[in-house]
Amino acid sequence: MSKLYPVSAEFAAQANIKAADYASLYDESVTDPDEFWGRIGKRLEWSKPYTQVQDTSFDASDLHINWYADGELNVATNCLDRHLEKHGDKIAIIWEGDDPNESRRISYRELHAEVCKCANMLKNLGVQKGDRITIYLPMIPEAAVAMLACARIGAVHSIVFGGFSPDSLAGRIVDCTSKLIITADEGLRGGKKVPLKINVDEALQRPGTNTVETVIVVRRTGSPVAMQAPRDRWYHSLMAAQSTECPPEPMNAEDPLFILYTSGSTGKPKGVLHTTGGYLVYASYTHECVFDLQENDVYWCTADVGWVTGHSYMVYGPLANGATSLMFEGVPNYPDVSRFWQVVDKHQVTLFYTAPTAIRALMRDGEAPVKKTKRTSLRLLGTVGEPINPEAWEWYHRVVGDERCPIVDTWWQTETGGILITPLAGAIAQKPGSATKPFFGIKPAIVDVNGTQLEGAAEGNLVITDSWPGQMRTVYGDHQRFIDTYFKTYPGTYFTGDGARRDEDGYYWITGRVDDVINVSGHRLGTAEVESALVAHPKVAEAAVVGCPHDIKGQGIYAYVTLKTGIEPTEELRKELRDWVRKEIGPIATPDYLQWAPGLPKTRSGKIMRRILRKIAENQPDQLGDISTLADPGVVASLVDERMIR
Q: Kindly list the residues in this chain that would bind ligand WT7 in the complex (CB under 6 A).
A: 262, 308-309, 384-387, 409-414, 435, 496-498, 510, 512-513, 519, 522, 524
Which DSSP symbol is given to 411? B
| Nearest distance from C-beta of residue 391 to ligand WT7, angstroms | 15
The response to whether 414 counts as a known ligand-binding position is yes
Q: Is 189 marked as binding a ligand?
A: yes
- Is 287 marked within a binding site? no
333 is in an annotated binding site: yes
Let me know: does 317 contact 293? Beta carbons within 8 Å.
no
CA dihedral of 412, 148, 131, 302, whole degrees rounded to 10: -40
When the beta carbons of 175 and 415 are compared against ligand WT7, the nearer one is 415
State in angstroms the smallest separation of the CB of 410 from ligand WT7.
5
User: Which lies closer to ligand WT7 via its Cβ, residue 270 or residue 537?
Assistant: 270
| Nearer to ligand WT7 (CB atom), residue 513 or residue 578 | 513
Q: Is 391 annotated as a binding residue?
A: no
Q: Is 629 annotated as a binding residue?
A: no
Q: Is 413 annotated as a binding residue?
A: yes
232 vs 498, which CB is nearer to ligand WT7?
A: 498
* Least distance from ligand WT7 to the Cβ atom of residue 457, Å: 19
Query: Which CB, 133 or 435, lies closer to ligand WT7?
Result: 435
Do 96 and 339 meet the contact criterion of CB atoms below 8 Å apart?
no
Residue 437 beta carbon to ligand WT7: minimum distance, rounded to whole angstroms: 13
Q: How far is the CB of 389 from ligand WT7 (least distance, A)?
A: 11
Q: What are phi and psi of 482, to 5 degrees?
A: -60, -50
Q: Which helix (H) or strand (E) holds 320?
A: helix 317-320
Q: Is 132 annotated as a binding residue?
A: no
Q: Which is nearer to ligand WT7, 111 or 308 (CB)?
A: 308
Complex with ligand WT7: residue 211 or 413, whichever CB lies closer: 413
Task: Find out whether 309 is annotated in a ligand binding site.
Answer: yes
CB of 131 vs ligand WT7, minimal distance in Å: 25
- What value, to the nearest 5°, has the Cα angle with vertex 239 and ends 234 and 241? 115
301 membership: H or E segment, kind and range: strand 298-301
Facing residues of 517 across strands?
A: 526
Beta carbons of 185 and 225 less than 8 angstroms apart = yes
- How far, in Å, CA of 544 to CA of 526, rounded? 11
Helix axes of 33-40 and 277-290: crossing angle, nearest 10 degrees? 80
**Shortest distance, CB of residue 262 to ligand WT7, whole angstroms?**
5
Check whether 247 is labelled as a binding-site residue: no
Q: How far apart are the first and last CA of the chain?
A: 29
Cα gap 119→273, rounded to integer Å:
21
The answer on whether 411 is annotated among ligand-binding residues is: yes
Smaller CB distance to ligand WT7: residue 214 or 519?
A: 519
Are 427 and 22 within 8 A, CB to CB? yes
Dist CA 16 CA 295 (whole Å): 11
Nearer to ligand WT7 by C-beta: 322 or 547? 547
Whether the link from the prior residue into 438 is cis, omega within 30° of 0, is no
Q: Please check if 590 is assigned to a binding site.
A: no
446 with 458: CB under 8 angstroms?
yes
Measured from the CB of residue 447, what is the shortest distance to ligand WT7 in angstroms?
16
* Dist. CA 424–CA 438, nearest whole Å: 10
How many Å apart are CA 528 and CA 506, to the nearest integer? 35
Cβ proximity of 140 and 184 under 8 Å = yes
409 burial type by CB count under 10 A (0-12 exposed, 13-18 middle, 19+ buried): buried
CB of 522 to ligand WT7, least distance (A): 6
Minimum CB separation of residue 383 from ligand WT7 in Å reads: 6
Q: Is the peptide bond before 230 cis (omega within 30 degrees of 0)?
A: yes
521 is in an annotated binding site: yes
Nearer to ligand WT7, 53 or 305 (CB): 305
In the bound state with ligand WT7, the residue whose beta carbon lies nearer, of 175 and 498, is: 498
190 is annotated as contributing to ligand binding: yes
Q: If DSSP codes are grouped into helix, strand and coil, which group holds residue 346?
A: helix
Please, are residues 489 and 495 in contact by the beta-carbon 8 Å criterion?
yes
d(C-alpha 446, C-alpha 424), whole Å: 22
Is 171 annotated among the ligand-binding residues? no
CB of 436 to ligand WT7, least distance (A): 10
Known binder of ligand: residue 386? yes
CB of residue 438 to ligand WT7, shortest distance in Å? 13
Residue 112's nearest CA partner among 246, 222, 17 is 246
Packing angle, helices 141-153 and 108-124, rounded to 10: 60
Q: Which is nearer to ligand WT7, 286 or 414 (CB)?
A: 414
Whichever of 468 and 580 has its CB closer to ligand WT7, that residue is 468
E strands within 407-553? 407-410, 444-447, 453-454, 458-464, 474-475, 494-502, 508-513, 517-520, 523-526, 540-550
Least Å distance between CB 38 and ligand WT7?
Answer: 27
Q: How many C-beta atoms lie closer than 10 Å to residue 602's C-beta?
A: 18
Query: Was 163 annotated as part of a binding site?
Result: no
Please report how close the Cβ of residue 542 comes to ligand WT7 at its closest, in angstroms. Answer: 27
Q: Where are the beta strands (DSSP E) in 419-493?
A: 444-447, 453-454, 458-464, 474-475
Q: Return d(Cα 142, Cα 148) in angstroms, integer.
A: 10
| Residue 599: how many other CB atoms lie within 10 Å | 15
b/e 342-361 (16+ beta carbons within 10 angstroms → b): bbbeebebbbbbbbbbbbbb
Nearer to ligand WT7, 37 or 261 (CB): 261
Q: Nearest residue by C-beta to ligand WT7? A: 414
Q: Would you say 172 is a known binding-site residue?
A: no
Residues of each annotated binding site: 189-192, 309, 333, 385-387, 409-414, 498, 513, 521, 524, 535, 537, 540, 582
Binding-site annotation: residue ranges for ATP:
385-387, 409-414, 498, 513, 524
Known binding site for Mg(2+): residues? 535, 537, 540
Residue numbering of the annotated binding site for CoA: 189-192, 309, 333, 521, 582
